[in-house]
Chains A and B, each alone.
Chain A
Amino acid sequence: DTGVSQDPRHKITKRGQNVTFRCDPISEHNRLYWYRQTLGQGPEFLTYFQNEAQLEKSRLLSDRFSAERPKGSFSTLEIQRTEQGDSAMYLCASSASPTGNLYGYTFGSGTRLTVV
């Protein structure tokens, strides 16, 4: 297994455009998380999935953001009508089921979004 993969690594987009990011988790992991990280800050929770079910979405997340995980495998995060404030590193992480899990999250390398 090659770990958690994210694509693209970098994305520059014009304000108002839509963007979509992809995350491929570790295949045995049924939990998948999306976080956003800005310079000098810790990862900020956006949403997470157990298999294909979206369990929670952050109240901070506007309705311009949507995430899916069809068939409980890869996930996509879409941002519509991007704004400059959306510029950040978007991190995906996966984990095995919580029960007895002592191995934490495995993070991907992230997608750096720049909105110009």
Chain B
Amino acid sequence: QQPVQSPQAVILREGEDAVINCSSSKALYSVHWYRQKHGEAPVFLMILLKGGEQKGHEKISASFNEKKQQSSLYLTASQLSYSGTYFCGTELSNDYKLSFGAGTTVTVRA
């Protein structure tokens, strides 16, 4: 079942922060985060496992709340290069098969 992402879109100025949320109605084994730039393939950012720690990738980090079946992606001190569409992919049962959300489009302006 597809996870739900919010917000659908966000516009930032360079240096601002943003949070993207991903929620599931079912218990999750892991959450992946990907970024897709226009006309390109999605690129893996990070994976959060059940029982795992908060992860980070430069100034992009994420958390996973197992009780709420939610994950959040944090964009800190955003840069122009952070623009793109961010997708969460959720895994239900350690089969490494992902269902993706509809995406959150992030636009960072100078």
Could you tell me which A residues sit within 8 Å of B by CB distance?
A: 4, 31, 33, 35, 40-45, 48, 55-56, 91, 95, 98, 101-110
Contacts and interface: CB of A to CB of B under 8 A. Distances in A.
A82 B19 CA distance: 40
Contacts of A91: 41-42
A100 to B, nearest CB: 10
B18 interface: no
A110 B41 contact: yes
Interface residues of B, number: 24
Contact of B41 (A33, A48, A109): A109
A-B pairs with lowest CB-CB distance, top 7:
A104-B44, A42-B100, A98-B96, A107-B41, A43-B100, A42-B87, A107-B42
Interface of B: 2, 5, 32, 34, 40-47, 87, 89, 94-103
Contacts of A108: 41
A108 B45 CA distance: 16
A48 B97 CA distance: 8
B40 A101 contact: no
Given A33-B97, A98-B94, A104-B32, A109 B103 contact: no
B34 A98 contact: no
